[in-house]
Amino acid sequence: MKDKIIDIVFNGKFTLPMKYINALCYYIIPAGALLYVFVPYFIGDSIYYNNAVSLGSVAFYILLGLLFIKPLTLIFSDIRLFAKLLILRKQFGVLMLWFFLGHFIGTVLSIGYKDIFFLIQAQGLKSYFVWGILAGIIVFLLGITSNVYSVKLLKKNWKRLHKLVYPALLFTALHIYFIAGDVLPLVITVLYGVVKIIAWKGIKIPVKRYCITSKKLPN
């Protein structure tokens, strides 16, 4: 058991079933996410708004995963599992887009676009809709360009476009803060900045030797 864990985590010795992963990320899960909102809405169940909020939370967690995976791969370079997961960034970028769309559509259906614009005018930058819309625009752009065709079409501009993911994190954190006064996303944003700087400085944290020699791992 210990050897299998080492092979997976440190050597990256496992095969990603890309055919099934693509089917899940591009078709099955997106369809399920939209149905999660639309089915309750059409049968008159108000729970669809709570479902939409849940989809927004999932989209945020996916965004965190997309952001943290690259610097963690550089810092913990002997954990090949991180490098293996980098392959899935485009798939999860598309998945994040669909969760956001479910969140956005459910929110508009519940509150109404007229009330949303009224709240934006009344509250200004303190309105969570402002930051949500800004983050949503970026997520939409990143999602529709998370494919090989966009990479070929945009070339160097593709990387420039996808650097917008950094302000998207900040806008999303502010969106959540102004909704519920939750500072945790802002703390995570600062933490990401620290992790990014550590990776940029080329600091490596070796863990393989300790874990292999540790007796804590099950045999």
Confidence of residue 212 (pLDDT cuts 50, 70, 90): low
The predicted pLDDT at position 46 comes to 86
Per residue in 73-119, pLDDT tens?
999 988 888 888 999 998 999 999 999 999 999 999 999 989 999 98
Per residue in 136-190, pLDDT tens?
999 999 999 988 899 999 998 999 999 999 999 999 999 999 998 999 999 999 9
The predicted pLDDT at position 3 comes to 72
Per residue in 38-55, pLDDT tens?
999 999 888 999 999 999
Whether residue 4 is predicted with pLDDT greater than 90 in this model: the reply is: no
Q: Residue 105 has which token pair?
A: 């559509």
The CA-atom distances, in angstroms, between 212 and each of 87, 204, 215 are: 26, 18, 8
Listing DSSP states for the chain in one string gives -HHHHHHHHTS------HHHHHHIIIIIHHHHHHHHHHHHHHTT-THHHHHHHHHHHHHHHHHHHHHHHHHHHHHTTT-HHHHHHGGGHHHHHHHHHHHHHHHHHHHHHHH-HHHHHHHHHHHGGG-HHHHHHHHHHHHHHHHHT-SHHHHHHHTHHHHHHHTTHHHHHHHHHHHHHHHH---HHHHHHHHHHHHHHHHHTT-----HHHHHH-S-S--
Cα 157 from Cα 150, distance rounded (Å)? 10
Per residue in 125-136, pLDDT tens?
889 999 999 999
